[in-house]
Amino acid sequence: MSLSPDASALPGPPDVPTVRARLVEYLCEAAELEHSLCLQYLYAAFSLRANPPEDGLDDVQIETIREWKGQLLRLSREEMLHLGLVLNLLAAVGGAPYLQRPNFPQPERYYPLGVVSSLTPFSRATVDRFLAYEMPTVLLSEVNGAYGPDGRQMTVGMLYERIRELCLSVPEKELFIGPSHRQIDTAAVIDPDHVFDDDVLVGYGVEPFPVDSHASAMRAIDLIIEQGEGATEDAEDSHYGRLLRIRAQYDREERAAKASGRVFEPARPMLENPAVRAVPDAVGTGLITEPLTREAAELFNSGYGLMVLMLLRLYGRAGESRAELRTLQSVVFFPLMTMFVRPLGELLTELPAGAGDPARTAGPPFEFGRGIQLIPERSIAQRVFLERLRDLARRAQRVADLAGATAAPARIVRRLEFLAENVQRLAGQYAVDTGEPGTPHSPASPLPEGAPRGT
């Protein structure tokens, strides 16, 4: 597909500086889109009421809702893969790691006109919006689409087609100038010692591969397009195809409930675009005012921000030893994602938003600060990460204590206490693994054989 005017469509030899600059710009925009989509799928998944089951749902509905949650979490993991591939592409062509994004809600250029990036609980309208995000380019003529700077209607697929054309317009030896050590692949993250077979590594959701040639760049772009919108409108396992099935199932459940005189409510009545502080130019946010919930939401934002900060270091690393790299990977990819962001995000969907909106629960804000920037010095980055992990542990315990003092439900208190214990262990293990002065069993004096590591 030709999307001229563009540097790749000009006659004669390529203007390499112009192509590289434009390619980096498009890849940064793609990174924002993938990051944003990942969080929106997570928010909708966290909102579903099936785990634990709640009043008003029968066993069949619960199983259906659990399937929807699993599908949304899978979509989110695949967006993480897409983001990882974009960051590898950026590194390959000489760009820097980029994980910035606007706070929610934000209009998007590459979606049909009027569609915004927004954190909303699961609903028919939310699924429709996701379908608009993942719409195959071949269906674009059926909607009033957004327009790019050249007056053409735009989709996410078209953005990646522009990236493809730019990549192919420059010879490999001139395009791929970035150092290979700043790229991530599945084996490096999951299995650095090459213990497992390749098929064991599939399914973690963090599966980027190195990009160092036109062929590997095209493989990355094809995977993103086909896994997202699908190469054709009937690609059943694409994001678009899976979302169509979820919508059809939702309609079926809603009709069945209505026929039996019931109301089908698969999601909690959460805030849209929750926030812990009012921003003068923010439109469409829901302010969290309940004290315990506000503290928990601030804690969530800090943990999410630290995870992004560590990801920036992982993709922008320089000088880490193999052991230091494994330590960084072991914190950011699993404990912070699976033992902090997800459980606290889900818990926030059960906590009250505040007196100003008593019928609603809150939700994870995913608020983004200006201070989330690459820390280039290895020793300083390690110090900052340890400081923030210890601060997270202290604040997590404070939130658990506050929950106990305010007579929150016992299961909420237990979950918060367990979260605080996990973060405390994580901070302690990071201190051990990075050789913090005064910490027993530093890397120069390893843990005894068989001793547990990490969380």
Q: How many CA atoms lie within 13 A of 169 on its CB side?
A: 25
The tokens 């790299």 sit on which residue? 325
CATH H-level, domain 1-268: superfamily = Ferritin, core subunit, four-helix bundle (1.20.1260.10)
CA distance 90 to 83: 10
Q: pLDDT tens, 196-218?
A: 344 434 444 446 889 999 999 99
The amino acid sitting at 89 is L
Whether the pTM exceeds 0.85: the reply is: yes
- Distance between CA atoms of residues 340 and 343, nearest Å: 6
The SS3 assignment for 119 reads: coil
- On whether the CB atoms of residues 59 and 115 are closer than 8 A, the answer is no
Q: Where in the chain is the domain with CATH 1.20.1260.10?
A: 1-268
Assigned CATH class of 290-455: mainly alpha
Cis preceding linkage at 105, omega within 30? yes
Q: How far from the centroid of its chain's Cα atoms is residue 33's Cα? A: 10
**Distance between CA atoms of 36 and 83, rounded to whole angstroms?**
10
Query: Looking at residue 186, what is its pLDDT?
Result: 63
Among 429, 227, 195, which Cα is nearest to 335's? 429
Of 270, 358, 338, the closest CA to residue 43 belongs to: 270
Q: What angle do CA 54, 55, 56 make, to 5 degrees?
A: 120
Q: What is the pLDDT of residues 421-434, one digit of tens each?
A: 999 999 999 999 88
What does DSSP assign to residue 193? T
Backbone angles phi, psi at 284, to 5 degrees: 95, 15
What integer pLDDT is reported at residue 447 of this predicted model? 35
Residues 6+ apart with CB under 8 A from 168: 8, 214, 218
Q: What angle do CA 113, 44, 293 make, to 5 degrees?
A: 115
Above pLDDT 90, what percent of the chain?
A: 54
Q: Tell me the pLDDT of the chain averaged across its residues.
A: 83
- Give me the pLDDT at residue 153, please: 56
Three-class DSSP labels, 320-375 = CCHHHHHHHHHHHCCHHHHHHHHHHHHHHCCCECCCCCCCCECCCCCCCCCCCCCC
d(CA 148, CA 158): 10
Q: What is the DSSP string of 19-35?
A: HHHHHHHHHHHHHHHHH
Residue 440 is predicted with a pLDDT of: 53
